[in-house]
Copies of this chain bind each other. A is one copy, B any other.
């Protein structure tokens, strides 16, 4: 029977390489090397590059959408739910810092394929951010905001720091300011602050 998690090792290696170099840039040999096997075995488990890529990409995509769609805890006030949403995004992005970049890049290269995949994905049915925002706006709990634009702003504030961390570290190094990786906490707090100010609410 299938030995010692070879398939998992392959998927792990493939994830790393594809996320770094994309579908075109990735080399099957690199993946095989990272997984400590040879190319033939790679093709034994995943018939070809596209199949392997699909496995990686599908996994990433569903994980990403799952994270980005859920907006739970209907009972709490809207700002609390948003703070929790922010916590969730930072946790997710800390674990998979390259994933948003990966998905964005591959989609921009091949939008058609992506539309198919999303269309065939099971649609999340639970509570989502935009309807919740609209409801709160109707109840005059928060100022008038285009909910879609707000969602985009929110994602910007959460996602970009992870995307840009390599560039930002350098910009910072050039000036004489310091930058530490633990600053995620600080950034997360600043995002909540931004949201609090914007929604005229308090933190906590």
Q: List A residues at the B interface (Cβ < 8 Å).
A: 20-25, 68, 98, 100-101, 103-105, 107-109, 111, 114-115, 118, 123, 128, 130, 145-146, 148-150, 152-153, 155-161, 163-164, 166-168, 170-175, 177, 179, 183, 186-187, 190-191, 193-194, 197-198, 200
Contact = CB atoms under 8 A, between A and B. Distances in A.
Q: Which of A108, A109, A172 counts the most B-chain CB atoms under 10 A from its CB? A: A108
How many chain copies does the complex carry?
Answer: 2
A128 B175 CA distance: 10
A18 to B, nearest CB: 11
A164 B155 contact: yes
Nearest to A121: B174
Given A24-B24, A107-B166, A152-B187, 6 more contacts: A21-B109, A22-B22, A25-B25, A146-B190, A194-B198, A197-B198
Contacts of A156: 156-161, 164
Given A163-B163, A170-B118, A198-B197, A109 B20 contact: yes
A107 B186 contact: no
A175 B104 contact: no
Contacts of A68: 171
Nearest to A145: B190
A24 B107 CA distance: 18
